[in-house]
Structure 1
Amino acid sequence: MWYQHIREETQTYLKTFVYPYTGFLTKPLIRPKFIAVVEASLIGITSGLAAVTLKEGVGWLGSWRIAASLKFPPWLLLPIFGLIGGFLTGVLVERLAPETGGSGVPQVKAALAGMTVPLNFQIAIVKMLTTILTVGSGLTLGRQGPTVQIGASLAAWISRWLPTSPSYSRQLIACGAAAGLAAGFNAPIAGVLFVVEDLMHDVSGITLGPAIIASFVGAVTSQMLGGKSLYLENSSDYLDTSITGFLDPKEIPFYIVLGILAGLLGTVFSRGIIATSIFNQRKLKLKLPWRIAITGLISGLIIASLPESFHNYTGLREILGSNEANLKLSFIAFTAHFVLTIFAAGSGAPGGLFAPSLIIGSALGQIIGILQSNLVGIEQPTIFALAGMGAFFCAVSRAPITAVVVIFEQTQDFRLVLPLMIVSIVALLVAEKIDKKSLSDLVLDLKGLQLNKETSANDYLSNIRADQVMHTPVETLDFNLTLDEVKQKFSSSTHRGFPVLDSQGLLVGIVTQTDLVYTRKRQVPGNHLLKEFMTLHPMTVKTRDNLSEVLNLLHRYKISRLPVMEGRHLVGIITDTDIIKIESEQLIGETNSRTNPPEPSYVVYQTRAPQIGNGRLLVPLSNPRTAPALLRLAAVIARQRNYELECLQIVIVPRQNSPAETVVDTTESRRLLAMAERIATDLQIPIHTQVRVGHDIADAILETVKERHISLILMGWKGDIAPGRIFGSIVDTLMQQAICEVVVVKWGGEKFREREKFSGVANEKFNPYSDYVYSFLGWRQWLVPLRDIPTQAAAVKLLPALVSLSVKPEILLCQVCTQSVVNPNIQEMQQAARMLKHRLHTEVMATTVCSKSVSEAVVDLANAHHSDVVVIGASKEGFLRHMINGNIPEAIARGCDCTVILVRAANN
């Protein structure tokens, strides 16, 4: 297609003329924190504007309804308004957005729990229009609850402008919900607390900074455009300022009674709404428009029969919040709103329950306050009314902190804090004693959305980190390889892509099969370097990123793999296949071993150095006499590859003892690690150390490899062989299970063994560092048997570091041909010899030997050439074949008097 051609031409131009010179342009120019602040502010502004628009719309339609009721008979006009408004509301909800029915808080709660609940711009608009029709037509519902869903929907819509990870989108939805409630009540603190306390039940699941910013901006926007308060108009003016005491002890019993009644009646209120909803859906079986229309008609008839003050909810709230309300008016207000709100909410009409809960609670508090005034003589019905608001709100929402804060932010009177705390806690205890679930949870249960609070903070993939699934260490390519060498690597591997490292070991690109197709289409010559056609600045993830975020990146950018970084270290790679495997395990209900690991080893001592390398080399230490030689070998490898050293000492405890609960003596272990630190300091290599307590040495090493993202293990071997083993249980286990590169050294030579035999702690003149390292000077003759492609063999890659220890080394590459090999590839051997000679500036020869036994041929060749060191390459599969067909590495190590180094490549 024509657009594909344009895309290919654009990519060609960028790769050729832009990326090599302007790589810095691909780096983010705006800090993530700044972006978060901008997004939170934008969400706050839009939520505030939506809240003001909703308030003005409800006020306009409600004023028109009240004005008309003064000109025409209320018993006729109010029911007609409720009938028409309810029917129009039902039509809009049913045809445009069924998700906008109800208060909207349960829908947001489900979305934040990871359930598939639509939140978008259309839902925000429909919710706003239908709430205006519902509340403005006279149904006893509020507009503060819908602002939560409107704010969350607007936030979800804004998050799609700049696609982000699912967890961050969830953060923005939480910000929108907080901003919506804050704008509805002009209570920014209550907005944040409500999201944490009721919607998410977990403070760890929300970044409070953006939520606070969104709430503050939303509240400020609504206050500037909608007045000082969107709910309690000058409520503090009705408080008796002549009372200076904060709380009279005589009032406490009445506050407790108020809390008990609020808890009981709040639970009845919630259950009544659920029962009405079930009746409407299963028994009445009317369509939504007619259901809401009939509810509006009945509400209009009942309200028309009540005193004129009930026609205007704002006026009724002002009366209940003052000293003008009497016992009869308060009782009528409580009963009417209690019953009418149950019918309105049960019909499925869009509208919130926050405002009705506050009115019902205010009337209940006014009743208790008047009774208290008659019995005790302390006239504070207004404070009781405000305390009743918080109590009933708490009983319905099960959010006591939000209940206290939302009333306090409206009144800004400290005298209310203690009464609010008393009644809210009592109401919560009573309500939870009767029913554990809040109204939002009951509504979700009715909809078939079972909300598990223990797992609602994240979905299954969000509980698994990238470093628990990734493949490590990663098979990489050098950016100076030619196109022909890259093609050869792809042809000999099952991988569809490789990360590319520069000369410093830093990730600079990635090459995939798509890039090779690009080179074929453009007829790129085979001698072109990899850095000229690879994909620059690849997208990466961090070790602690969860799989939900990784999957989102893979799908959004249509890629199949992502490098995993720890700092600037490339420590693994994760593919879409890995995530599909995890999802399939979840679907079939398999127990994931990652979440149920056996009892691990325990770190009792550790030191850390700066993380300045491109990988880590692990050296398990046990013998103080051989430790200096191992560290010297480790140092040259670390220097060549720019690795850090990780020295490990393991203390074994009995199986019946828990490693984390066993007291051990680490004196000798720390002394050994201190010696390692001195040697590393002399060699100027960064070193980390740790002492682990465990049941098994091999398991402790494998745990360290995984936790510390080890790239290579270097360890010694005494030469002891157990029955049925190749090198013994520890080395065999690491050879088969370690995901990183493994290097095993069996020290050889008469001088070396004599020094080990006769040197001891009692010999004060013995210097283990100088004495053992002295043996490296005799390493001149090197024998390297090869089986795979010589230039890609692990032993060949390690040679430059190893031979740097010896003076004037001479290297012999050999290939042992058995009967299965008819035509040995001499050219590849000679090519490897030339490459090493050019790189090491030393003598390198290549030869081929035919023999029935590989081990006998290598031993004979080592003895004939007086080899000082034999370096053997191995693979996991080859190592297993040795166990079946014959112990080749052990036979070579036993037959050769010299040092034998076994190099096993990483398991990818």
Structure 2
Amino acid sequence: MKPHLIVKRLYQWVKSSHLGVNATDSRYAFVEACLLGLLSGIAALILKEGVGWLGGWRVSLANQLGAIWVLPLGGLFLGSMAGWLIEQTSPTAAGGGITQVKAALARYPVPLSLRVAVVKLIGTILVLGGGLTLGRRAPTVHVGAALAAQLSSWVPTSPEHRRQMIAAGAAAGLAAGFGTPIAGVLFVVEELMRDVSGLTLQTSIIASFTGAVVSLIVEARSLSFAPLLNLPNISFSVDDIPFYLLLGILAGFLGALFKQGLLFSLAIQSRLKLPLPWRIGLVAMISGLIIALLPPFFQDNTRLQTVLVRGELSTEKIFLAFVAHFFLTMLAYSSNAPGGLFAPALVLGSALGYLVGDLEQFIMGSSSQSAFALAGMGGFFSAVVGVPVTAIVIVFELNSNFNIVLPLMVTSSVAYVVADSFSRGSLYERMLKARGIYLDNNPVVQDFLSQLTAADVMQSQVETLPSDLTLDQVIQAMSLSSHRGFPVMEEGKLVGIVTQTDVANAAKLSSQTPVKQFMTPRPISVEADALLSDVLYLLNRYQLSRLPVTEGSKLVGIITRTDIIRVEANQLEGNDSKLNEAIPEPSYIAYQTRAPATGGGRILLPLADPKTATALFQIGAAIARQQNDELECLQVIKVPKHKKPAQTPVKSQHSRHLLHRMERLGRRQKLPVHTQVRVAHDIAQGILDTIRERHINLMVMEWNGETGTPGAIFGHVVDLLIRKAPCELVLVKLGNREPSYPDSLNRDATWLIPIAGGPNAQRALELLPGLTGLYDRPRSPIIWLCKVFPPAGALPDYQVLEQTAQAVKDAVARPVIPLPIRSQSVADAVVHLAAAETCDVVMLGVSREGLLEQVIHGNIPKAIAKQVDSTVILVRGAL
């Protein structure tokens, strides 16, 4: 059966699936992407083996008959044959191929077909086997794109689908050529197709991964993503930075000169008007003659590239190889022969890196030459091709050593900026302009990375350190945390940041040295609405590993390099959880007031019942006074789902009246109170939008003790917020002993606090001093601190309970009674004790697992909240 019939049968099978039209398109696209990866991997292997065999035969013949005769004549013969084949059968197969793919993706009528792919393969084998100093990776990109275009032409698909498949085929070709699947995708995003949308990313990822896997399996007979370029002794230190800057400047300048030389030589060749066979043949003959006059190690181009990258030559030979490779590549590329610039750019960069590394070794006495070689590869590639991110990823994937990341980023970014200063614009776009093809650099759909802000990427829950800690205490905090850097806070404001490097530099100081003396003061930070491009710029320019995110003087989050990598990976792989859910219509702010932002954090009070709003406000205010926080009072007005919140008129007079009352309470207690009324389809979604936009640290939320929704545990809204609200959560069920709860706050009270260990129980105890300050009392309230032990077994250890009771007593200056209890059921014991001692408030810190999980397993005292008449406060830590 012919190939196009097989593809048509496959399409018909997918179309007959029961998953629907959209799913059908996706499934076919994914199957086609896998097939493209398979074919691209096989094509890359054929190209590699063919070039190796023909090049080895040429070198062997030169050794037998004399290089001065074989190399020029062999180049003339093989180059002329390649030119004749291309000119007679498929002129589009000439050149590196990137310009053709780029033009096709820009919707220009550039022929791409199976004929182009076959002719490109044969022509590349002939010219590279004939000794031209070009690479085979750009041709694999062209071959992959041509195969994709052919597959798409065999089935009734749309032009947009064809464009997506061409992009996927190009990604698969690069991934198969280098064995770098991520770089294949990034090259498509960064250079070929900047208006990424729809299935393009997903299909490119699948095709790129499949192409790399096939290449590895067929070539190495194993699926191992081990380093393909395993250079030894890679290290990086502060003393190396000036030399990496020098390497970046040299790579940028020489790369710009190389790019200008390529464009000039192409212009000269086009004016000569020679037929393609003569052009390629004569250039191959001249190259062969020059190589024959050079030292013997130049004769095998593939071997020469390997020894240059691995640094197996002396400094003099590396310099000679760099100069010769520099001009021979320009000469070869000017002939429009089917070969690329990727491998030559990497080889030239590695040679330049070794030269700078030798310079550092001469001046400083030591140097990590392998690191300089890799950084030079990325820098020269960035300068010539103009894709710094792809360059960084290619070199990193080839070596898989994290020690190279920082020098690689420094060198590549400097080289890119310097090269762009001397020779602006993409090389491939300038080559297309020379042919009369002008691309639109302002696509309608932007790269998703340009739409991300710091708030989208940051971690909103930040571990901070107070400014009065000592060196010993900072070391202890770092040993207990997975983080290696902490913002330093003083009176709710960011005053510095302390990292492992700061601690290491302070090793000679006294253990009682305050953190202010060795931290980094006035750290660089970004606003929450800063674009991710600005964040990346700051991280790269100042070589930072983390950036605090602020709103005014308030710390609202932190961004690390890991966060950025995670977001990029999720976006590229389509694994963002938001993609798997129906995206609701965004809520709309119908009314808002803002107080001076003087607090260190922000507490959200969703107000649902005007009768209990004052009591909820008092609880939030007590915590705000203790923590020096601001209050954000919220009312959500729900509208039908068939109406847009931003376009639906609502009556907000009652909501505004309630919020004005909260503002008056705030002024009396000298607390900053912000208010807003939101219109939303779902109350929980309105609250979550507020948490995200206002950078909420803690939420105090009421639960009335009833569950009105079948199957819900606390109710639909509360259940959803418990699962999704990232901030700390204080869930309150107000007591019903007295009809007017606010009046009950003005009398003597008894507290019951069961403890079972864990961070949330500790957090509940930390909130206790502020909450006990709610009461105007004739005498101090009693606090029962109890712990429930199993009824059988050895005598329990009460020491921890007694120590905790003493710590609470010191913190609240109230009578605290430790009470051990033996019982089979924690809930029953707490309910009985609350009734026996007429406790007014029962406060529990929820254990490590989530609230809902504990309810399912019968381990959370929902029974307590339902069975006791007193107020119940549940504390859940940030997610």
- The TM-score, its normalising length taken from structure 2, stands at 0.49
